[in-house]
Copies of this chain bind each other. A is one copy, B any other.
Amino acid sequence: MDLDARKLGILKAIIDEYILSASPVGSRAISKQDGFNLSSATIRNEMADLEELGYLEQPHTSAGRIPSDKAYRLYVDQMMQKAALTDDEIKLIRAHLTAKLDEVEMVMKQTAQALSAVTHYTAMIMPPMLAANRLRHIQLVPLREGRALMVVITSAGFAREAVIRVPDEIGTGELERISRILTERLHDCRMDQLGERIMQDLGGELFERRAFLNSMVEAIEHKMEPDAPNVQLSGATNMLHFPEYSDVNKAKMFLTAVEGRNTLYELLKRASRLEFSITIGGENENDMLKDCSVVTATYQIGEEPMGSFGIIGPTRMHYGKVISVLEFMSRCLTEMLTSDDEE
């Protein structure tokens, strides 16, 4: 028994239908569709075959069939057409993004909102990883009693702050001097090499400040990698509109899983290695997401991949549309973050 063209066609029709209706698809519904001039009985035979092959499942004897994860995988890999964005959708996205966004955090928030608004699924995005950025400026500003605020600014215009301890013997003037020397010497140094460079280059001139520089490096390194709490989430409640989540307990499970950002953080971190990824139902490592599909993409600054973002929805997701939206958004983001109009 083989997956011939007709079986494929029927499977595609079933998946398309199920994505819309969310309820098991019967043989009659398919046989009535244009294109197949087959009776429901014939479709039934084919459906039985497809079930045996693992592409369809039957919730119970007298129900229609629903696609399995395996079917979605086939669908995504071979059968699906991308759905171009409508003008309205593009407008909606632009409306979220064109407002003057001068903070990255705002860009992240707006992106997540745009994604969830346009797809009606749940959107998530991880802020940029700054490892590949280059240093532009370091400034130490004294606060009260042995503390200073260190501000580090990168080539792409990101700023990171941290409060650090300052040994008593370092005064305001000295902080200023250290700032100036570091800014001068480390200009254009990759952020993830800052540690080595500070330690190597500056042995001479700032030798007696070794310990202090060490604590600065530590603070910088800590701030460059985004953390779980920095993951932006939007539209988690969208899931409640889907019949899959009409059961309060399922909804609770899902919402609890995404509310603590750790799950999403892991997801996005792994996803940042691939330009694009689709994970369907059981393919997810996280048990909480066994009924969900996750589609992710990445954005860049210049040529350098900076972070990832994505959509979580029911396995019965409108993949074609989601993929198009993410591709579009990836271009938008890369453009926004790369252009000079952005922080």
CA distance A125 to B281 in the complex (A): 35
Is B340 touching A145 in the complex (CB atoms < 8 A)?
A: yes
Which residues in B have their C-beta under 8 angstroms from that of A248?
A: 240, 245-248, 251
A54 proximal to B (CB < 8 A): no
Q: Given A149-B343, A255-B240, A159 and B157 touching (CB < 8 A)?
A: no
Within 165-200 of A, Cβ neighbours of B (below 8 Å) are at: none
Is A102 touching B163 in the complex (CB atoms < 8 A)?
A: yes
Is B147 touching A157 in the complex (CB atoms < 8 A)?
A: yes
Is A236 touching B259 in the complex (CB atoms < 8 A)?
A: yes
Query: CB within 8 A of A157: which of B143, B234, B251, B340?
Result: B143
Query: CB within 8 A of A255: which of B229, B237, B256?
Result: B237
Size category of the binding interface on chain A: 35 or more
A162 proximal to B (CB < 8 A): yes
CA distance A145 to B143 in the complex (A): 32
A301 proximal to B (CB < 8 A): no
Within 135-160 of A, Cβ neighbours of B (below 8 Å) are at: 136-137, 139, 141, 143-147, 149, 151, 153, 155, 157, 159
CA distance A159 to B237 in the complex (A): 33
CA distance A269 to B75 in the complex (A): 50
How many whole Å from A83's CB to the nearest CB in chain B? Answer: 26
A106 proximal to B (CB < 8 A): yes
CA distance A234 to B255 in the complex (A): 12
A266 proximal to B (CB < 8 A): no
Interface 1/0s, chain A 214-228, versus B by CB < 8 A? 000001000000000
CA distance A200 to B28 in the complex (A): 81
CA distance A137 to B252 in the complex (A): 46
How many whole Å from A98's CB to the nearest CB in chain B? Answer: 16
Is B141 touching A137 in the complex (CB atoms < 8 A)?
A: yes
23 chain-A/chain-B pairs, Cβ below 8 angstroms: A106-B229, A136-B141, A136-B149, A137-B141, A137-B149, A139-B139, A139-B151, A141-B153, A143-B155, A143-B340, A144-B340, A151-B151, A157-B163, A159-B161, A163-B342, A163-B343, A235-B259, A236-B259, A237-B259, A240-B248, A240-B252, A246-B248, A247-B248
